[in-house]
Homo-oligomer: A and B are copies of this chain.
Amino acid sequence: MNTPTSRAACMQADERDPLAGFRSRFVLPQGVIYLDGNSLGPMPATAPHRAAEVISEEWGDQLIRAWNTRGWFDLPARLGEMLSPLIGGQAGETVVTDSTSINLFKAVAAALTIQEADRPGRRVIISERDNFPTDLYILQGLAAFIDRGYELKLINDDQVNLDDLLDDSVALVALSHVNYRTGLLRDMAAVTAQAHNAGALMLWDLCHTAGALPIELSACAADFAVGCTYKYLNAGPGAPAFIWVSEQHQNRFWQPLSGWWSHRAPFDMRPEYVPAEGIGRYLCGTQPITSMAIAECGLEIAAEADMAEVRRKSLALADLLIDLVETTCADHPLTLITPREHDRRGSHVSFRHPEGYAIVRALIARGVIGDYREPEVIRLGLTPLYLSFTDIWDAVEILAEILDTRAWDTEEFRTRGAVT
């Protein structure tokens, strides 16, 4: 589509928007333009009812019986099956459980164990200097703990590329599909093939793509993936994350967080650990059922959305945002750090500005909720299920006004503290 050049044109684009109907599936506060669904997705309209149901009816009335009568035990697998098509997984390859960090640990541990059997001696793990920190921290913590000489090497696209590092010392490549700060999208098929050609396994962090764009883990022959559900999948604050393991790897080895939910027969209560077959092996302990049950509300909506359509609109919203910022805010030192090319861009757009922190706070005070990331980064999420073209128009008008009037330049906004 052509990028709208007036508010009226934005309204026309909204009228033609095939996803417009999804807006009513969410509750958003009056007066807010929410550009932070890439950090915490908003509340599905069904969530309050589901919360009341799981609390009062299931916990309150059913008590312990709800584990069976209300299917609590099945939630990780059931939500995993709902989510799997959104990431291009097959049946039985995904569970919703634990946190992204913990699922990373399981996946990395399993990948290294497989490589130690198949290609012994490989002791390098490649990631990215600008990866989301928890990915790097988990790699560091795991490597230090097992103390078998694993070394973390980091790409940094300006200086060190994957090509520079990939050789027969590499056990695993662990990258984010979309960079949390810049919004850079990696080519999953190409990078996975590149890793495999060097004999490395490939782990994808999908936190910033699951629910945002079409993903084809199986078609790309990826090995492991993890991601969170509380961003583009609108599953609720801190909702359990997911882990996807290619069927070929699932039964080869234990993952080390071998709690009872990963046992073949947990209620036999035997002292010997015997792992479940299949993706159930990647569970660990008892899951937070209230958070898990509410997560289904967001997953239901995502499962109904056409991801190709979501992607199309996300790119159009971002094109509009970039165009408008570069025209209406041209006098201000805003630097786009997100790639302009559609095939290299995820679903958020980031600008650097020396006063980025204060600007984000001023935006929030005016109802435009984006977020700030070190250093100097104003990060704006484009979430097609509940944002309109007119929202983007209005948000940029407010941004331009804040910049033009230096409304950010107050002690309140400049003082570091909580961003929001």
Q: Of residues A54, A142, A271, A420, which shows the largest number of chain B Cβ atoms within 10 Å of its Cβ?
A: A271
Residues of chain B contacted by A230 (CB below 8 angstroms): 286
**Structural contact, A98 and B100, CB atoms closer than 8 A:** no
A10 at the interface (CB under 8 A from B): no
Expressed in whole angstroms, the minimum distance between the Cβ of A80 and any Cβ of chain B is 16
Residues of chain B contacted by A54 (CB below 8 angstroms): 237
**Structural contact, B273 and A137, CB atoms closer than 8 A:** yes
**Structural contact, A63 and B134, CB atoms closer than 8 A:** no
* Given A236-B290, A256-B144, residue A47 in contact with residue B43 (CB < 8 A): no
Expressed in whole angstroms, the minimum distance between the Cβ of A237 and any Cβ of chain B is 4
A120 at the interface (CB under 8 A from B): no
A169 at the interface (CB under 8 A from B): no
Expressed in whole angstroms, the minimum distance between the Cβ of A55 and any Cβ of chain B is 5
A162 at the interface (CB under 8 A from B): no
Please, what's the 1-or-0 string for A312-340, where 1 marks a CB less than 8 Å from any CB in chain B?
A: 00000000000000000000000000000
Q: Of residues A48, A133, A142, A290, which shows the largest number of chain B Cβ atoms within 10 Å of its Cβ?
A: A290
CA distance A319 to B364 in the complex (A): 61
A182 at the interface (CB under 8 A from B): no
Stretch at the interface among A27-35, A83-91, A212-220, A392-400: A27-35
Expressed in whole angstroms, the minimum distance between the Cβ of A351 and any Cβ of chain B is 17
Interface residues of A in 127-170 (CB under 8 A from B): 129-134, 136-138, 140-142, 144-148, 154
CA distance A415 to B93 in the complex (A): 32
**Structural contact, B136 and A273, CB atoms closer than 8 A:** yes
**Structural contact, A40 and B55, CB atoms closer than 8 A:** no
Please, what's the 1-or-0 string for A201-228, where 1 marks a CB less than 8 Å from any CB in chain B?
A: 0000000000000000000000000001
A-B interface, 5 closest residue pairs, ranked by CB to CB distance from nearest? A141-B258, A101-B259, A99-B285, A101-B285, A288-B291
- 11 A-B pairs besides A48-B56, A146-B147, A236-B290 with CB distance below 8 A are A32-B63, A51-B55, A59-B236, A67-B237, A68-B419, A101-B260, A101-B286, A145-B254, A154-B271, A228-B286, A290-B294
